[in-house]
Amino acid sequence: MFHNARIKLTAWYLLIIMLISIFFSMVIYRVLDAELERFARAQRFRIERRFSQFPPIPNIDPELIKEAEQRLIISLIIVNISILLISGATGYFLAGKTLRPIQEMVDEQNRFISDASHEFRTPLTSLKTSMEVALRDKQFSLPNAKTLISESIEEVNRLQTLSEHLLQLAQFQKPNNNAILETVSLGEIVNKSIGKVMPMAKQKQITIINKTKDYELQGNKYGLIDLIVILLDNAIKYSNKKSSIEILSQKTAKAVSISIHDKGIGINEKDIPHIFDRFYRADSARSKHHVSGYGLGLSIAKKIAEIHHGSISVKSTIDKGSTFIVKLPFS
């Protein structure tokens, strides 16, 4: 598909360039031809004036003019063929360069759709199977039905979270995402984010210590709240009961850094380069500690940081804890 589009784009480039080139060649031919005849007439006139005592000289040999015209035509044809070849090669190269970002975007979207449908397929299949089994079971009692319904609701809730995360990711993934950036207060963003995760922290008796200062920065309020909530949510999820989480802020001339430090399970060194990838979950989270999740949070957080021209990084030691650092530039 992209190869055809590249060829078509090259053909359009060539058509435009060749139309311009042929038009100018015709103009050049006409001008030079007229100049040639004017020069021949002027030359004859000058000779006749100087040697007026002699009989008039004959016209310049028309064969000579024809030969000059032919040479001009050949030169113009050579120039046009060279332009055709050079612009053909350059056009093909430029068409490839123009189409590459579009191709990458389409590939990325296809990957996204196939990853997302894969994530949906497994829980939907197991939901369907357990319901079919229950339907076939002749001794299926009311208490059994209640257990099945509550398990199914839990699964549906998880699927709902997954679809919300996917929508969020798709929204932040749009190319040239022009999220409205306004002056926002870091203090307000952190307080609102803590408020959102508080019920979960209370459930695990985790203390959140907020040591951030109230700086003003340019950002998208709701995007930044989502970003901090994702990091706090992970810090709570991957910490043991009765643990504590610290949020700190630091300001330099160019940027504000927000660090979220937990004393949780930590991340293996080999997983660190991948945790910001879509659907990536470290083994420690998945199999060892059985923490639920889809591996989407950090990829959303990374996209939000990028929209703000910022960055997100992590330092972690297994069984000691992790620190996620978000850097947001002022401009």
Q: Which residues bind ligand ADP (CB under 6 A)?
A: 234-235, 238, 262, 264-267, 275, 280-282, 285, 293-299, 322
CB neighbour class for 6 (10 Å; exposed up to 12, middle 13-18, buried from 19): buried
Q: How would you classify the pairing of strands 255-262 and 216-219? A: unpaired
The nearer residue to ligand ADP, 91 or 297, going by C-beta atoms, is: 297
The nearer residue to ligand ADP, 13 or 324, going by C-beta atoms, is: 324
The nearer residue to ligand ADP, 282 or 328, going by C-beta atoms, is: 282
Distances (CA, A) of 195 to 72, 192, 228, 245, 293: 82, 5, 11, 14, 21
The nearer residue to ligand ADP, 6 or 281, going by C-beta atoms, is: 281
Least Å from the CB of residue 282 to ligand ADP: 3
Least Å from the CB of residue 200 to ligand ADP: 13
10 contacts 92 by C-beta, under 8 angstroms: yes
Least Å from the CB of residue 247 to ligand ADP: 13
The nearer residue to ligand ADP, 91 or 223, going by C-beta atoms, is: 223
Minimal CB distance to ligand ADP: which residue? Answer: 293
> DSSP secondary-structure letter at 205?
T
Q: How far apart are CA 290 and CA 262, in angstroms?
A: 18
Least Å from the CB of residue 177 to ligand ADP: 19
Task: Mark 136-148 as b/e (b = at least 16 C-beta within 10 Å).
Answer: eeeeeeeeeeeeb
Least Å from the CB of residue 284 to ligand ADP: 6
